[in-house]
Chain A
C-alpha cells in the first residue's frame, strides 16, 4: 500500500473535524481528513442548525461566544453559502417549568456577561405571529441564529480543499501505529498515513478509536429525530426553542423541528449506522402544531434521524491525550454544529501552540479521571468525581440509572428524570 504522510490527520469529515482541518490548513499545515462515509453524512449534516452563545451551558459559553463572532463572516471567509442568518435565538416557555429554565439560563448569561433579553408573551407574539396562546414568556439572544448544517459542513470541506487540504471519503480508520508514546501513522482502509498529529473528531466512533490507542473516552451514541414541513411563507427568522422542541424556518421556508426521546444505541467503527425514524415523529408533529398553531395544517414532507454521542456530563470533550501525546480528542455531545467554528479554531491552536486562546478548561478529559470503562453501568456511583455536584449532576445520575435499566430492557430512554 502507498504510504502517505501529512502534518495532521483529522479523522471524521463532520463539522468539528472539517472546521479543525480548515483552520489548520489556513495556518499552513498539510492536513489529510479521512472519513468512513461522506462529508456531513452523520449528525453534522442532520442536526437542527441552531447557533447561539450557549448561555444554557456554562462550560461551552466561551466557544459559543467566539463562534457567534466567527459565523458572522464565515460565508465570505469560506467562499460558500452556509445559509447563516443572525436574527437571534428565542427560547419560549409554554409551561411554568420552561419559564423556570429560562430564568435559570438568564442568570447564567448575566454571570458570564452575555446579553439576553427577557420577553413577555405579547412581545413574543409580535416576533412570531401565530405562536401558541400558552406562551408565557421567553428569553431572546440577539446574537443567535441558525444555518443549514449540510451546506455549512460542505462549505468547510470545500474551503479546506481550496487550501490544498486532502479529503478522503469512504476511508475508514482501522488502527494506529504508536511508538514512543506518539502515534506515528494512522492505518486506514486506503493505506497508512504518517502523521505528526492526529485529531480524532469521529462523533460516536470517537470512543472506539481511542480504545485502539488504549485510552477510554466516555461517549455513548444515541439516535434522535427531526421532521420537515413543506415550505411556508416567511414566519420568523430566528432559532426557536420551546414546548420541548428546537428548530428553525429554513431559508426555503420549511419548518424543521426536532426533539424528544432519544434512543441509546451502538455503532460500528467502519460502517455507517442505519438511522431509522420511529412513530415518535407524530409526537414531534403534535408539539410543533401546539407551539405554532398557525402552521398546524402544514404538511410534513419528510423526517430524518441522526446519531449523536454523549459524554456522561453532556458536554464536549476537547483535549490532547497524555499518551499518545500527539492525539487530540474532539467530541461535542450533540452541541457540535453551533460551536463548530470556535471548536476548529481551538483545536488548531492546541495543535499549533499547545494551548487555545478560547477557554476550554471545562472540556478536558481529566474530569472523567475516576470514571471507569464501565461507566455506563456504574454511572451513578462515579459521578461524584466529575465536576462539582450541581443540579445537572443530580439529573444526570438519574438519567444514567434509567439509561442502564432501559438499555437492559429494550434500549430506550424516555426523558427527563426528576
Chain B
C-alpha cells in the first residue's frame, strides 16, 4: 500500500496553502485533487452542481488538466517546494480503526483516477475538501441549466468551459454577487439577481458595480418555474412574495435565460471527516455540520485536520480567500509540528504573520434557506421533486410516502405520515431516507440533503440544529464496480473468502 506522512485532500486555496506550509517544513506531502472531474461524474452533478452546462471542452481531459493547473498559481509553487501534486484523483473513502473496526493496517484513504482505485495510508491528513452547492427545488429545476454557485465557479474559473449565455442568479449575498461578477467577466450576460429577502444581503460596493453593469435586482421575489425544452432552460418565471412568502397575484415576470444559478448558500463537504468519525457540530452560521477543531485546525481525531470551506463557510468568505488560505497554512504548520518536523517555537514563528481571521460574526444561514424553500413550495407547489434522482416530492417527504414505483396504496398507509411517525420519537432523516428514498440517488444526496432537513425541521417543529446529519457512507463518489475493485487483491483474501460464517452457511437470511 502507498503511504505518506501527510496527505492533503483538495488543492483549492486552503489545501494548497496547507501543503506548501508542510512541505516547507520538510514534510513529504501528497496533495490530491479530483479536478478535472470526468464528464460522466459531472453529468451526475458530483461533486458540484454543474447543471449540464459544461462546453464540449470538458471531454478533452488533457486540456482540462492544463486549465485546472493553470487556474491555481499556488500549485506551481507547491511543486517547487516538493509537494507531490496529483490532479484528477478523487478520494472516495476514508477508513481508520475504531471500536467496531480493528483490522486495518493504519488510517487510509481510497483513491481513484477514474480507471482504477487504490488505497493510501497516512500519518496525518488535512481535509480541505471545500463546500458544495445548496440545492433548492423549483418547478423545472431538473432541466439542464440549473446549477450551483460552486459548480458555475468551477466551470468558469477552473475549466474555462461554462456553456451559458444568460444567467439568473438566485441569492443576493456575497456568494451570489461574486458569482454574478465572475460570470459577467467571462462574457455571460447576467439578467437578474433574485432574493426572497426584502433587501440585498451582500456587499454594497459590489451591488453598485453590478447595477452599473445592467444587472437587475429582484428582492422579495422567488422562482415560480423554469421553462424550456430539450436544450434545457429557456426562461425563468419570477414572482413577488409578501411577508408570509405567499406569491403576489399578477406579479409574475418572465425573464429569458438559459441558466439559473443557485447561489443561496454553500454546504461544507464533511463526508470524509464524517467517515473518519471526527466530531461534527451543527453551526448554521458556518453552513451546517462542521468539524469541531482547535485553533490549529485539528479535529477531534488527532491525526486529522480541516481547513478552508470544509471547516465552515460563511458569506464573508466568498469575497475573501485569505481566510481559507490562513486556515490552510495553520493546518499545514500544525501537521508538520505534530509529525516532529517543526519544533514548537519554530511552528509558532512560522504562523506569526497569519492574520487571525477578523473574528467574523457570520449570520445564521438556515432561516434564509428555509424562507427560500417555503417560498418556492408556495409558488411552485409541493409536488416539485426535492429529490430529483428518486423523484420524491416535498409532499411525499412530509407524507412519508413509499416510492411511486411500488404503486402501493392502502388505507393503513394513508393514515401514516411524518406527523404520526413523530409520536414514536424524534425526527430521523436516515429513517425518512430509507422509507421515501430521498437522498439515495445518483447524486448521493448532494442536492437534496439540506432540503430534506429543512422540510423535516419545519414539519416537525424541530429546530434545524436538532435534525441529525444524514449519514455518509463510502464510496462518497459513485465509482463503477470495475473501478472500485482491487486489482491487487491478495491470495489470502481470494482464497479465504468465507461463504458466510462457515462454508455451509452462505446466506444472510
Contact = CB atoms under 8 A, between A and B. Distances in A.
Interface of A: 38-39, 41, 45, 47-48, 50-52, 54, 56-57, 60, 75, 78-81, 83, 91, 98, 101, 104, 150-151, 154, 158-159, 162, 167, 169-170, 222-224, 229-231, 241, 244, 246, 251-252, 258-263, 265-266, 273-279, 281-283, 285-289, 295-304, 307-308, 310, 314, 332-339, 391-392, 395-396, 399, 410-416, 418
B277 interface: yes
A45 B430 CA distance: 12
A204 B402 CA distance: 30
B399 interface: no
A213 B104 CA distance: 37
Given A45-B434, A52-B507, A334-B508, A298 B481 contact: yes
A80 B410 contact: yes
Contacts of B424: 39, 167, 169
Interface string B482-502: 101110010011001111111
A140 to B, nearest CB: 14
A281 B474 contact: yes
B508 A276 contact: no
Given A50-B507, A258-B508, A296-B481, A314 B502 contact: yes
A50 B502 contact: no
Nearest to B415: A162
Interface size class of B (residues with CB under 8 A): 35 or more
Nearest to A229: B481
A246 B497 CA distance: 13
A334 B509 contact: yes
Contacts of A411: 102-103
B505 interface: yes
Contacts of B186: none
B437 interface: yes
Nearest to A286: B485
Nearest to B425: A169
B498 A261 contact: yes
Contact of A251 (B405, B497, B503): B405
Contacts of A57: 505
Contact of B402 (A41, A81, A287, A295): A81
A399 B502 contact: yes
Contact of A299 (B100, B119, B478, B504): B478
Given A274-B277, A416-B496, A302 B444 contact: yes
B442 interface: yes
Contacts of A335: 507-509
The 3 closest A-B pairs by CB, nearest first: A79-B412, A415-B498, A286-B485
Counting chain A CB atoms within 10 Å of each CB, the highest count among B102, B482, B504 belongs to B504
B98 interface: yes
A38 B430 CA distance: 11
B482 A308 contact: no
Contact of A101 (B110, B444, B503): B503
Nearest to B410: A79
A318 to B, nearest CB: 14
A392 B103 CA distance: 26
Contacts of A392: 502, 504
Counting chain A CB atoms within 10 Å of each CB, the highest count among B99, B100, B428 belongs to B100
11 contacts: A159-B412, A252-B390, A260-B497, A274-B101, A283-B489, A285-B481, A285-B485, A295-B481, A301-B478, A314-B501, A415-B498
Counting chain A CB atoms within 10 Å of each CB, the highest count among B424, B428, B437, B502 belongs to B502
A304 B473 contact: yes
A391 B502 CA distance: 10
A283 B478 contact: no
A225 to B, nearest CB: 10
A263 B501 CA distance: 11
Interface of A is mostly: mixed
B206 interface: no
B171 interface: no
Contact of B489 (A91, A286, A339): A286
Contact of A282 (B431, B485, B503, B507): B485
A395 B104 CA distance: 26
B489 A279 contact: no
B92 to A, nearest CB: 9
B138 to A, nearest CB: 25
Interface of B: 93, 95, 98-104, 108, 110, 117, 119, 275, 277, 390, 402-403, 405-406, 408, 410-413, 416, 424-426, 428, 431, 434-435, 437, 440-442, 444, 473-475, 478-482, 484-486, 489, 492-493, 496-509
Contact of A416 (B275, B408, B482, B499): B499
A54 B508 CA distance: 10
A157 B484 CA distance: 37
Given A50-B508, A252-B403, A300-B481, A279 B425 contact: no
Contact of B473 (A50, A263, A302): A302
B481 A289 contact: yes
Counting chain B CB atoms within 10 Å of each CB, the highest count among A278, A287, A412 belongs to A278
Contacts of B104: 278-279
Contact of A262 (B95, B405, B441, B498): B498
Contact of B406 (A83, A258, A298): A83
A412 B506 contact: no
Contacts of A223: 100-101
B475 A303 contact: yes
B444 A301 contact: yes
Nearest to B402: A81
B184 to A, nearest CB: 36
Nearest to B408: A81
Given A52-B507, A262-B501, A289 B485 contact: yes
Contacts of B434: 45, 150-151
B508 A47 contact: yes
Contact of A276 (B98, B119, B405): B98
A389 to B, nearest CB: 14
Contacts of A50: 507-509
B393 to A, nearest CB: 16
Nearest to B101: A276
Given A101-B499, A263-B102, A300-B475, A395 B413 contact: no
Contact of A244 (B402, B405, B425, B497): B497
Given A261-B496, A314-B501, 16 more contacts: A39-B431, A81-B408, A167-B424, A223-B101, A252-B405, A278-B101, A281-B474, A289-B485, A297-B481, A299-B478, A339-B509, A395-B502, A412-B103, A414-B496, A416-B496, A418-B503
B104 to A, nearest CB: 6
A296 B431 CA distance: 30
A7 to B, nearest CB: 21
A332 B509 contact: yes
Contacts of A278: 95, 101, 103-104
Counting chain A CB atoms within 10 Å of each CB, the highest count among B99, B474, B489 belongs to B474
A282 B101 contact: no
Contacts of B497: 244, 259-261, 283, 287, 415-416
Given A79-B410, A244-B499, A48 B102 contact: no
A158 B416 CA distance: 9
Contacts of A81: 402, 406, 408, 413
Contact of B437 (A252, A314, A334, A395): A252
